[in-house]
Each structure stands twice: as C-alpha cells, then as structure tokens.
Amino acid sequence: MSISKQLITRVSKRKPRTPGQRGRVDVKSNVSKESPERSLTVSLKATGGRNSSGHKTIIRGARSHRRKLRIIDWKRNEFDGIPAKILTFEQDPNRSALIALVQYANGAKRYIILPKGLDIGATIVSGPEASISVGNCLPLEKIPLGTIIHNLEMKPGKGAQMIRSAGTSAQLAGKDGKYAIIRLRSGEVRKILLSCRACVGEVANSEHGLAQFGKAGARRWIGRRPSVRGVAMNPIDHPHGGGEGRTSGGRHPVSSTGVPAKGYKTRHNKRTDKFRVRRCKK
C-alpha cells in the first residue's frame, strides 16, 4: 500500500450512535502513526493545575493523557546552507500545528512546524542565502515585500515566538530603516528588527478550528475541567457569587480573581509600545 506524500486533511462528522458522537466533528490528517523520534522527545510531568506548593493556580486545570514533548527547532540557524529533507508529517499533542521531521544532509534530524504546501521528500534550506520558497528560513532583510511568513522571531537569535499556531500567517508589509513592518492576522502592524528570522509560507492544518469535542470527557482528556458559572458559586468563591434567589451578579462582570471582563485592556508593556505601529482591529 503506497503512502501519500501530500498532506491530506479530512473533516468528518460522526454518526450519532451515542450521545457523545452526536455533535462530534473530527479533523484528521494522514500523519505518521509511528512513535516520535526518540532523540527529539522528553517526558512531561503533569501538574494538575497546581504549583510547587500544591496550591491550585490554574482554574479548570486537570491532569490529561500522558504526553511527550517534541523538541522543535525554533531557531533554524544550526545548519545554515545545508539542505534538509522532509521525512514524515506528525501530530504534536502539545500544539495545534502539525510538525514535520526533517533530516539534514549531514544526518542530523530536527522537528519543525509544518508549512502549508510542503510534501514528503521536499527540500528546505535555512540561512541568508536561502531562496524565497515555502519552508525556507532566512532574515527579514532578505525577504521581499509582500511575502507571507510564519515562525517570526522577536529578538535576533532567540528563536520563533510569533505566528506558530495552526493556519496562522503574517505579511511583510514594508521596511523602515533597521526595522521590518509586519502586518499580523489580528490587524496589528508591528516593527521587528530586520536581523530577525522568519520562515516563508503559512502554517498548515488551518482546519484545526473546525473540530468539535462532542462530549465533556473529550475535554477532560486534554486537561480541561468543567466550567462553573460565577453566579452559581458562593461569595467566598467568586465575586459574582451569593445573593438571594437567582441573581445575575449585580456588578460589572469580572474573573474569579477580580479582573474586569468584556473590553478591559490587560496589556501593560510600555517598553515595547513604540514597536506597535497600529493596534488590533476592534
């Protein structure tokens, strides 16, 4: 039986043979069913939403299925100029994006975020001299205007920090002195140093958002406990709690820790405000 070299994603709805399957929608891809590369995985210890003192610090945090962390090559600067071949597509339980196992010409293997449009056997290259092709990683100063990018660095050499989830991308809108002007999906326009690196193309698995869990147990598998309304709690448990009879809270909506909801700005980083050319669209 031949294995397809292209990434094929199928969105399927279950037949409602059980109540949990009635609303379930699965998004499946032809990813590898083999175990992950052993040299690129480490064990993860579940915390159950608790800190080192044993106190619950993450609301609705719970233990999930046991996972292994795949070590992703965010920097892509270790083997500049050496071509790498894509070996497999894989599912990473720790992120929404799919990952690809690549092998460089010198024999080294690394995991990368899978860009949209790459097939098994395709070749990618990193470095300032790389061509403008999907999957290649190079500094922003070498990328032409209008190019779609992902895996964007915020500090030179630190590794990709932005545009890493499934189906995301940004556009190189311009260059101003030593800065590149990046237009994000949210509508925000931001300045990034031209010496920072980015990968060409869009992150694959854009259908990830179409999946539906179908039942509460499926959320428990990924480590999410049930969500209880604040107005159903006691005053000691939530600011909305208490009151005689059924109440709607009687005050502006806030979180369990008292942070206002519905429009309250939580960003307080004046040190980087000068790099924001335009804020997100409302």
Q: pLDDT of 208-256, one tens digit each? A: 999 999 999 999 999 999 999 999 999 999 999 998 888 887 778 999 8
Please compute, for residue 71, the number of CA atoms within 13 A of its CA located in the half-sphere on the CB side. Answer: 11
Residue 148 near residue 169 (C-beta atoms within 8 A) = yes
Q: What angle do CA 242, 217, 44 make, to 5 degrees?
A: 100
Minimal CA–CA distance to 27: which of 7, 6, 11?
11
Domain ranges of the chain: 9-208, 233-244+253-273
What's residue 158's pLDDT? 96
In angstroms, the CA 137 to CA 77 distance is: 9
The C-alpha atoms of residue 14 and residue 26 are separated, in whole angstroms, by 8
Report the predicted TM-score, pTM, of the whole model to 2 decimal places: 0.89
Q: Encode pLDDT of 114-160 as tens digits.
A: 999 999 999 999 999 999 999 999 999 999 999 999 999 999 999 99
pLDDT given for residue 197 in this prediction: 96
Structure tokens at 140: 């922003």
pLDDT in tens, 53-62: 999 888 888 8
Angle of CA points 139, 160, 126, to nearest 5°: 45
pLDDT in tens, 73-124: 999 999 999 999 999 999 999 999 999 999 999 999 999 999 999 999 999 9
Count, residues in the chain: 282
- The pLDDT value given to residue 2: 46
Structural fold of domain 9-208 = OB fold (Dihydrolipoamide Acetyltransferase, E2P) (2.40.50)
| Residue from 190, 194, 193, 133 nearest 163 by CA | 190
